[in-house]
Each structure stands twice: as C-alpha cells, then as structure tokens.
A = this chain, B = another copy of it.
Amino acid sequence: MRAERKRVVIIGGGFGGLYAAKSLGNQLVDVMLVDHKNHHTFQPLLYQVATAALSPGDIASPIRGILRRYANIEVLLGEVVGFDLNGRRVHLNGGADLAYDYLIVAAGATHSYFGHEEWGAFAPGLKTLEDATVIRRRILLAFEDAERQAAEGRNPGPLNFVVLGAGPTGVELAGALIEIARGVLAHDFRHINPSHARVILLEGGPRVLPAYPEDLSRSALEQLRSMGVDVRTGSVVTLVEPGLVRVGNMVIPSTVTLWAAGVAASPLGKMVSSSTDRAGRVPVRPDLSLAEHPEIFVIGDLAAVKDEGGNPLPGLAAVALQEGKATATNILRELRGESRRPFYYRDKGLFATIGRQAAVARFGRIHLTGFVAWVAWLFIHLILLIGFRNRVLVLVNWVWAYFADQRGARLITDIEPIGQDVAAAEKATKTG
C-alpha cells in the first residue's frame, strides 16, 4: 500500500504553501515542502519590524516547528532553480531533483521596480525579515546621523522620509514612521527634534489605497494627514537616487526612501507557464491548476485568480490561505476518486492600519474607519498569527508599546559606518 502513496511537492512556506501542507498533514500522501528560508514570515506585520515595534522573532516561526506533528510531511531548505514539467521533477540548487505526482507552486511575489532595478539599493522594499531589518537600520541611523552632525556643530539638514506607493504597505509604513518620529524618539535626542522629521507619501495614482472603496481611501487620506504625513497623489516617481527622488521636474530631498510601489510574481511563474500576465502571475483554471498540467497547482500571490465578478483577487494572506486549503482538498478528493471543485474565495475583508487607533477596514459591505477599524485589525491579526508563543509575545509587545509609547525593538544590527549603506549602493551602481 505504502508504495502507492502519491507524492506532493509544495514550493513555498508562506500562507498558501503552509496551509496546503497542514491540510495534507496526516493524510495518505507524502508531502515535501521546499523553501529557501527556514521560517514562515507573518507578512502582514513586517512593517512593524521595519519600524522597530516588533522583533523579527515575533513574526516568524520555523517551518519545521509548525509542521513537525505531521509525520507524512518533510521540510527541505533549498532553492528551486527549474522544472522538468513532463518528467514531473523539481530541480534544486546543488543539482538535486525532487519527483512529484502533484506540484503546488506557492512561491509568492517580490518587489518590482518597473524596470528600474538600480533603484532597489536606494529604496528598499519590504517582503522579508531581512528587508525589514535593513529598513529599520536605515530609519534609525538617519536619526543617529543627524544627531551626531548637530552635536558636532554641523547642520544636519531636514530629515525626510519618502515612501513610494500608497497601497496598504506604503500607508502602514508612512503612518508608523510619523508615529516613531513624534512618539518614542521625540525625547531620545538632545540636538535634533525628531518630531520635525517629515514623512512624505508619494502615490502615482489619484488616491491612496487604490484597491479599497473610495470612502475608505478618503478616510485613510484624512487620517494620514491629521497625523502629519505629507500625502501627494498623482505623483509618479521618475528617478530615485541617494538623497533624493524626482517627480517630474520636482526634486524631493530624501534621507531615507522606501519602496512600496510595486510587486512582481516570483520568477518561478514563468518556469511553469508561458502565459503569465503583466505582473508575472500565472493564469489558472477554476480549480487553481494549469490547463496544460492538471497535476500542477499555482496559488497565492503567484496565481492570477478572478472572483465571480471577474475581478482579480488581491494578494492577501486570507486568499493564499484559502487557496492552499482548497488545493489540498482537491488533491485528496481526486485520490479518493472524486472530482475536483472550483475555488471560491470567502471574502474576509480588507484592512489597512495607519497608526495607533487609526485604520480603515471593509468587511463585506461594512466600512469601518478610525479606532473601531484599528481594534478589528488588531484582533484579526492576533488570531491569524501562527502559534501560541508568537501570539503572546506580540501581545505583550503591543500592550507595552501602546501604554508606554516605547518601542523596544529599535536595534541597529549589522551596523556599517554611518552613510555606508547608501555609499556602497551608490558605488555598486556606478561600477556595475
């Protein structure tokens, strides 16, 4: 009997891959989950690590630990470098191969600089824990550098934080930045006044949170402005350099520039499908499988899935998670001789948090703003966080941050001499 067990390979330990694996746990299949990181990252809270409210360990869990109780699941740390789609094999770095009967590709998305990859060094994006600690370091070093210049009698000039893109991540970063500057850091320095720092949120489109209902976009804009964020819509960035960004003919000085303007699907998409869309996402059938290869499923941010109205599903944890569960269910159905079922997304709403007590949310037809939306966001994210330990720790951190207005995670690690981050990036661009 054992020899006949089908083998499912899952690529990616994000929400899609992890929930697919969990749903296949202790079932009559052999599962191999491959990721190039050893941990699952709770991406919705990454911006809190980037802005020093949480530590990396608070929002990440080792994938092995999450799946250890399922004896039929193996976890492998490795990088997928290609496929033999007809031979049903996954090629890993180092020359090894994994055979599969079913393949679930849940490799997610990364930043897109729209053909300006050279901007990446000066405007880091936020997709991984490493990204978050780079951003945290740049933000904290900007204040340290200004303090030191002022202490030495020099004029540090204005502190400008420029966030590019006003989707949920951009809005969250901008809100958290102005809160740090005017809150916890306000009394930490002697020569500079951190609350004079400016946070500028640039959005190419006509409104913030473009994927949200218009009334919530308006509310988010008002909440951001009342917190002191300088929001500029209709501002398409044409150049990113160390110390500045350019919008048309206008030069905006920028001490730290952050990228939240675009994502592109994992390059693995193009390796399994020749018909990816503009963002590199893979079109899938209603059961999330590929037309040419029914044994391959693509889920999460890498998949282009439409809802009943024909609108593309957003890149949300809730979408990926449901797609992972549905795919596992379909594989198990097929193994029992039943037919697959099409995937339907059960809408869990949309949230964007802007600051303490500031957020917008949509649940079905209910639109929430301000404090109520913020409490709903807090509650949902605590529930979603994987693992008891993380939940307790994050709660302790949040309660502490909320009442004491302290951010305990403001560590600068892997420090380079001040300014070297940008200097190195500049050099890299010039030489290559």
A-side interface residues toward B, CB under 8 Å? 36-39, 55-58, 60-62, 64-65, 68, 74-79, 93-94, 96, 129-130, 133, 140-141, 144-145, 147-148, 151-152, 184, 187-191, 387, 389-390, 392-393, 396-397, 400, 404, 406, 408-415, 417-418
- A401 to nearest B CB, angstroms? 9
Expressed in whole angstroms, the Cα–Cα distance for A126 and B130 within the complex equals 21
Q: How many copies of the shown chain assemble into the complex?
A: 2
CA gap between A191 and B152 in the complex, in Å: 59
Bound together, the chains give a CA A56 to CA B412 distance in angstroms of 11
Residue in B55, B64, B152, B417 whose CB lies within 8 Å of A56? B55
Contact A77 B418 (CB under 8 A): yes
Which residues of chain B come closer than 8 Å to A39, judged between CB atoms?
410-412
**Contact present for B64 and A188 (CB under 8 Å):** yes
In the bound complex, residues from chain B placing their C-beta under 8 Å from that of A74 are 151, 190-191
Cα-based distance from A327 to B38 in the complex (angstroms) = 47
Which residue from B77, B152, B404, B410 sits with its C-beta under 8 Å from A38? B410
Query: What residues of chain B lie closer than 8 Å to A187, measured between beta carbons?
Result: 68
Most chain-B CB neighbours within 10 Å: which of A189, A191, A410, A417? A410
Task: Decide yes or no: A56 and B396 within 8 Å by CB, A68-B188, A148-B78 being known contacts.
Answer: no
B36/A411 in contact, CB under 8 A: no
B38 touches A144 (CB 8 A): yes
- Knowing A57-B55, A389-B400, A396-B396, the reply to whether A410 touches B147 (Cβ < 8 A) is no
- Which residues of B have CB within 8 Å of A38? 140, 144, 410-412, 415
Residues of B within 8 A of A151 (CB): 74, 76
Residues of B within 8 A of A145 (CB): 77
A77 proximity list for chain B (CB < 8 A): 141, 144-145, 147-148, 412, 418
Q: In the assembled complex, how far is the CB of residue A17 from the closest CB belonging to chain B, in whole angstroms?
A: 17
How far, in angstroms, from A75 to B130 measured CA to CA in the complex?
27
Q: Do residues B60 and A414 form an inter-chain contact, with CB atoms below 8 A? A: no
Write 30 A-B pairs (CB below 8 A) sorted by A numbering. Answer: A36-B415, A39-B410, A55-B55, A57-B57, A57-B411, A60-B411, A61-B408, A62-B188, A62-B410, A62-B411, A65-B184, A65-B406, A68-B187, A74-B190, A75-B188, A76-B148, A77-B418, A94-B418, A96-B148, A129-B411, A387-B408, A389-B396, A389-B397, A389-B400, A389-B404, A392-B400, A393-B393, A393-B396, A393-B397, A396-B396
Q: Which residues of B contact A57 (CB under 8 A)?
A: 55-58, 408-409, 411
Q: Which residues of B contact A393 (CB under 8 A)?
A: 393, 396-397, 408
Are B400 and A396 in contact, CB atoms less than 8 angstroms apart?
no
Asked if B411 and A389 sit within 8 Å, CB to CB, the answer is no
Chain B residues, CB < 8 A from A415:
36-38
- Chain B residues with Cβ below 8 Å from A93 are 417
Given contacts A76-B147, A408-B390, contact A413 B62 (CB under 8 A): no
Chain B residues whose CB sits within 8 angstroms of the CB of A141 once the complex forms = 77
Q: Considering only CB atoms, which chain B residue lies closest to A77 in the complex?
A: B144
Which of A93, A141, A389 has the most B CB atoms < 10 Å from its CB? A389
A58 smallest CB distance to B (angstroms): 7
| CA gap between A144 and B65 in the complex, in Å | 13
Contact of A133 among B79, B96, B389, B413 (CB under 8 A): B413
Task: Give the distance in Å from the alpha carbon of A176 to the alpha carbon of B306 in the complex.
Answer: 50
